[in-house]
């Protein structure tokens, strides 16, 4: 497979996942603003969400003060924001268009329809749009694409590259979101049992579409250790670091098997190593290390894996 083709498939996966992250952030932010007495609070919440997507500087430069409308515009529509839902969807569709021949017609169809519909929405006056509808729009279309990929794509190297993009992006997004809010997960005596921590934890779970799943997995009260455990170490949780990393390793193993010994496997080796380290820990050990330190290191390691994927496969061996 051409390196450029593989690269486009990889980034198509990453951008689709990122579009979903943007939509989910918007949904969470929306909820926060609906709560009473959060005048100052919601500014902070929005800011942490911007930080999570690494775009808070960009936002400040372009818009200055945070307001509901500006944030919605920025996170959903703004083409100057490379992480906005619209940007990501457009980039994913463009990548797909370039490698049309590597996609089944169902996948292309789903991707193309999502893009055409988005353009229709962009032309509507913003005041007429409802935010919950926009989030649903993105998640339902990205799910359709995802489903088409799973149902129709050949299980070949291209499929591995797409899924590698998805899984690396997801691990990265979860880690970033946790890192921004890590302080609320630290067991601090003054917060325990107060309304505040409970609510903050729920925000994190919601941001990862995991609040119901959490209850199924743990039942009972929400506690910091359990939330962290669920999003970092629980292999049943679809967006947990360990689950995403496990998928990345699985696809890297697939590539290594397919390509044989002549092609370097540094990305695979590194991903295996990070996974093994994660598997050997429990949540207490992570808290002992320091949650922030742990997450920063994890984010760096994911970036290393992504760079190694480029080195091993996407540069054409030169």
Partner 1 sequence: MNYYNEMFDGDAVREPYARLREWVETMPDDFRQMKQAEAEALFRRIGITFAVYGEGGDPDRLIPFDMMPRVFEQAEWRRLERGIKQRARALNAFLRDVYGRGEIVRAGRIPARLVYRNEAYEKAVVGIVPPRGVYSHIIGIDIVRTAKDEFHVLEDNCRTPSGVSYMLENREIMMRMFPQLFRTNRIEPVDQYPELLRRTLESLAPAKCSERPTCVILTPGHYNSAYYEHSFLANLMGVELVEGQDLFVDGEFCYMRTTTGPKRVDVIYRRIDDPFLDPLCFRPDSMLGVPGLMDVYRSGGVSICSAPGAGVADDKAIYTFVPEMVRFYLGEEPILNNVQTWTLWKDDDYRYVMENLGDLVVKEVHGSGGYGMLVGPKSTAAEIETFRAKIQANPSNYIAQPTLALSTCPTFVDEGIAPRHVDLRPFCLCGDRIELVPGGLTRVALREGSLVVNSSQGGGVKDTWVLSE
Token pair for 220: 């009972």
Q: Are 88 and 22 in contact (CB under 8 A)?
A: yes
44 vs 156, beta carbon nearer partner 1? 156
Q: Binding to partner 1 by residue 194, rule CB under 8 A?
A: no
Of positions 37, 61, 101, 124, contacts partner 1 by CB under 8 A: 101
Site size with partner 1, rule: CB under 8 A: 27
Of positions 11, 108, 214, 298, contacts partner 1 by CB under 8 A: 108
Of positions 109, 122, 253, 269, contacts partner 1 by CB under 8 A: 109
Site string (132-171) toward partner 1, x via CB under 8 A: -------------------------x---x----------
Cα(257)–Cα(33) distance, integer angstroms: 49
Site string (206-245) toward partner 1, x via CB under 8 A: ----------------------------------------
Q: Binding to partner 1 by residue 310, rule CB under 8 A?
A: no
Q: Which of 117, 115, 157, 127 is nearest to 8 (CA)?
A: 157
Residue 56 CA: distances (Å) to CA of 68, 69, 307: 15, 16, 24
Token pair for 152: 């129709």
Q: Binding to partner 1 by residue 112, rule CB under 8 A?
A: yes
Site string (249-268) toward partner 1, x via CB under 8 A: ------x---x--xx-----
Cα(38)–Cα(19) distance, integer angstroms: 27
8 vs 21, beta carbon nearer partner 1? 8
Cα(208)–Cα(200) distance, integer angstroms: 13
Q: Which of 40, 36, 86 is nearest to 65 (CA)?
A: 40
Q: Are 86 and 137 in contact (CB under 8 A)?
A: no
95 vs 149, beta carbon nearer partner 1? 95
């Amino acid at each position: 497979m051409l390196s450029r083709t593989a690269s486009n498939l990889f980034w198509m996966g990453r951008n689709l996942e990122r579009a979903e992250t943007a939509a989910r952030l918007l949904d969470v932010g929306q909820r926060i603003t609906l709560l009473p007495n959060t005048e100052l609070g919601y500014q902070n919440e929005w800011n942490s969400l911007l930080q999570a997507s690494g775009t808070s500087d960009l936002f400040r430069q372009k818009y200055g003060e945070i307001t509901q409308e500006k944030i919605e515009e920025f996170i959903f529509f703004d083409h100057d924001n490379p992480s906005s839902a619209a940007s990501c969807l457009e980039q994913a569709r463009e990548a797909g268009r370039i490698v049309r021949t590597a996609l089944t017609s169902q996948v292309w169809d789903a991707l193309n329809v999502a893009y055409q519909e988005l353009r229709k929405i962009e032309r509507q006056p913003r005041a007429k749009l409802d935010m919950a509808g926009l989030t649903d729009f993105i998640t339902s279309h990205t799910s359709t694409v995802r489903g088409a990929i799973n149902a129709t794509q050949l299980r070949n190297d291209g499929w591995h590259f797409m899924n590698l993009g998805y899984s690396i992006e997801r691990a990265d997004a979860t880690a970033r979101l946790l890192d921004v809010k890590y302080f609320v997960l630290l067991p601090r005596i003054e917060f325990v049992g107060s309304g505040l921590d409970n609510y903050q934890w729920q925000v994190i779970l919601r941001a990862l579409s995991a609040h119901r799943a959490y209850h199924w997995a743990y039942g009972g009260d929400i506690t910091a250790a359990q939330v962290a455990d669920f999003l970092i170490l629980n292999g049943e949780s679809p967006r947990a670091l360990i689950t995403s990393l496990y998928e990345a390793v699985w696809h890297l193993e697939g590539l290594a098997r397919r390509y044989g010994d002549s092609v370097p496997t540094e990305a695979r080796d590194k991903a295996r190593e990070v996974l093994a380290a994660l598997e050997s820990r429990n949540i207490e050990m992570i808290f002992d290390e320091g949650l922030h330190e742990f997450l920063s290191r994890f984010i760096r390691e994911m970036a290393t894996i992504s760079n190694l994927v480029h080195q091993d496969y996407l540069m054409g061996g030169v």
